[in-house]
Structures are given as C-alpha cells and as structure tokens.
Structure 1
Amino acid sequence: MKVMCILTDGFEELEAVGTIALLRRAGMVIDVYAVESTAATGRFQVTFDRLLNTDDLCVDEYDALFIPGGPHYAKLEANACVKAVIKHFFDHHKVVSAICAAPTILGHLGYLKGKKYTCFTSMNEDFGGVYMDQYVAIDENLITGRSAAASIDFAFALMEKLAGKAKADEIKKSIYY
C-alpha cells in the first residue's frame, strides 16, 4: 500500500508524525508532500525537510490520501493542486483520510454530504453529512479523525482499511496498544 500525505506550514505534528510512524510500522510506503516547497514547519516548530513537492506528484501511484490537521488547513484548502488531488481520490474511489481541522476542507468542497464524519468539534459546520461525536468515523473509503488525541485510533483505522485487521492487530500488539 502506498499513501500520499500532504501538508504545509502549520500542520499538527502529533497527527502527522503519529500516523506516518504507525503506517510505516505496518510496512506501508508514505510519501510526504509539501505545498509549493520541500519543507514544512508544524504549529509547534517541528520542521520536516526534504519533502516531495506537490508540483512533482503523480496521484495514480497512491492507494490513499492522508491529510493531517492543524492551522495549515486553510492554506491547503486554498491550493488548487490540493483540491485537484482530493477530487482525484474521491473520483477514483480511493481512500481519503483527514483528521482534526482537515475534514473541514472536505466539507467545504462538498465531499462530506451524506457521509458519516468527525472533525475538531468546534470546526464542525453543516456539511450535509452526519457528524459523529467520536474519535474516528468511517464511511466506506472516507476515514476522519476528531483531534490530536485521536491520532492513534485514526492511524489504526486507516491501517486496518489498507492492510487489514490482522496487520492492524499485529502492530497494536507490538506497541502494547
């Protein structure tokens, strides 16, 4: 399985690093892209460098999209390339996962209509779907997480969707979850 992660300055480190680390423990390839750059600094000043640039991506190579939350969501939502990537994943019925503030991007673009979802509670708007007051919501190929506190459950939901329950259980056991 191959996962694309997109972020930019202001991403939430716990959501990004935790999810990436757990998926890589399961043997997945996670390519991390920065918008219009090859580096991104999180909201708590942790910097990722040597990232891939969204100008060079080929979305057909990926099985899933992962968007961490954080204040960077507004920059991602305003970016034409990011919107095109999201559209591609939904149009091709691939897995789309977003946590915390990031599901609001999907909501503003109309992708949460008729779907079960969760997001950072204070950012929930009427997106036309069913808001789930829980850490993780799954609706077919859509996986959403509520907040940084939900990062581990979110990562395991994504892992189970992509690699199966047995692999998720194996990784859970390896970290004493």
Structure 2
Amino acid sequence: MNRVVFITAPEIFRDEEYYKPKKVLEDTGIEVITASVKTGELRGRFGFKTTSMLLIQEINPNDFDAIVYIGGNGSVIFFDNHYALKLANDFFKQRKPVSSICIAGVILANAGILKGKKATVFIDGKEALIKGGAIYTGNPLEIDGNIITAKGPDVAEDFGKAILKSLE
C-alpha cells in the first residue's frame, strides 16, 4: 500500500486543498499521514480540523511514496523551514512525487528543485517561482516529471488525481 505525507501548517491552511486531495487518495486505499511543526489538532482557514501525527523533522522519506505541501496563508512558515526544504530535496532526489498547491509552491522554489521545471502557484508566489528558476506557466495544474504544482483550491480535486496518477 502506498503512503503519502501531507505537510500542513498548524493553522490557516486552505481547508479544501487539504481534504479534497486526501479524499481522492484515501478512496483508492492510499494511506495519508499528516505532518506539521506540531502534533495534534490543526485548524484550517475555514474551521476544518485535522490531526498531525508527525513532526516534519521526524519524516523519513524512505517511509513514504510521495510528499504533498498544502497551501493557504499558514504555509508561509515552511518557506524557509530547514526540514521542509530538505524533505522536498530528499523526495526529489529519490525520484518520488513532490507536489504543492497554492502558495506552497514557494517551498519547492526555495528548495531549489524547480530550476528549469514548468510550475504554477497562486499568483502571489509567481516571483518566488521565477527567482527559483521555474518556468512559471500560470496554468491551473502543472506536471513536470515528478513535480506536481497546482494554482489553488479550485483544482484541489484534480491535484489529488494527478498525485494518484503519479503513484501508479
């Protein structure tokens, strides 16, 4: 059975960017583990609650088949977080899917893994992607090799389907 780790802010993450891709994956039997900078209850922008089972520094990439960075205003705490950036690199080097939705794409840019890759992000992150060497497309969803990026909540379900397809 595949296992995927969702990196989620402790608060103000975008609810539907979390629960829609999670549902797509879990409906096919994939185990989704949520990780953050704290364990216990996490709260989304619109009141959705979930539970972090792992601290991001405890994540072993060998235990997971893909990593997903969830967007929303809260995700800015990961933009320069050593562990978040290292994990993106570790998964990328192992040729495992690395994905982000909304503003969380800035994490991938800051990790240095978007150089020469087509990518998209919520418009506020466009300059960070370009600075990180990405080929910014502005498309709702972008897949370039093992990197999957999505623009925002409107494509959260399609984002989940793209992650699912990458695991086949």
* Corresponding residue for residue 45 of structure 2: 43
Residues 135 and 154 of structure 1 are in contact (CA less than 8 Å); yes or no, is this contact kept in structure 2?
A: no
TM-score normalised by structure 1 residue count: 0.85
Residues 8 and 69 of structure 2 are in contact (CA less than 8 Å); yes or no, is this contact kept in structure 1?
A: yes
Amino acid at match of 1:160: K
TM-score normalised by structure 2 residue count: 0.89
* Corresponding residue for residue 5 of structure 2: 4
Match of 1:56 among 55, 58, 72: 58
Aligned-residue offset at 1:122: 3.0
* Corresponding residue for residue 173 of structure 1: none
Stretches of structure 1 lacking an aligned partner (at least 5 in a row): 164-177
SS at match of 2:21: helix
Q: Any idea what the Cα deviations from partners look like across 1:27-75, whole Å, max 9, x if unmatched?
A: 1111111213322111223222353333433221111001110112211
Within 5 Å, give how 1:79-94 maps onto structure 2: 79-94=81-96
Please tell me the root mean square deviation across aligned C-alpha atoms, in Å: 1.5
SS at match of 2:47: coil
Aligned-residue offset at 1:78: 3.0
Match of 2:163 among 133, 147, 158: 158
- 4+ long deviations beyond 6 Å: none
User: Identity of paired residues, percent?
Assistant: 28
Within 5 Å, give how 1:1-177 maps onto structure 2: 1-8=2-9, 9-49=11-51, 51-125=53-127, 126=130, 127-163=132-168
Tell me the distance in 1 between the aligned counterparts of 2:39 and 2:52.
9
Between the two proteins, the alignment pairs up a number of residues equal to 163
Would the alpha carbon gap of residues 38 and 80 (structure 1) be closer, same or farther in structure 2, given more than 3 Å must change? farther
SS at match of 2:138: coil
Tell me the distance in 2 between the aligned counterparts of 1:130 and 1:50.
33
* Corresponding residue for residue 168 of structure 1: none
Stretches of structure 2 lacking an aligned partner (at least 5 in a row): none
SS at match of 2:72: coil
Tell me the distance in 2 between the aligned counterparts of 1:108 and 1:80.
10
Would the alpha carbon gap of residues 26 and 67 (structure 1) be closer, same or farther in structure 2, given more than 3 Å must change? same
Point out the structure with max Rg over C-alpha. Answer: 1
Residues 121 and 152 of structure 2 are in contact (CA less than 8 Å); yes or no, is this contact kept in structure 1?
A: yes
Would the alpha carbon gap of residues 105 and 56 (structure 1) be closer, same or farther in structure 2, given more than 3 Å must change? closer
SS at match of 2:4: strand
Residues 86 and 111 of structure 2 are in contact (CA less than 8 Å); yes or no, is this contact kept in structure 1?
A: no
Q: Any idea what the Cα deviations from partners look like across 1:104-147, whole Å, max 9, x if unmatched?
A: 11112222110001111232012322112321100000000011
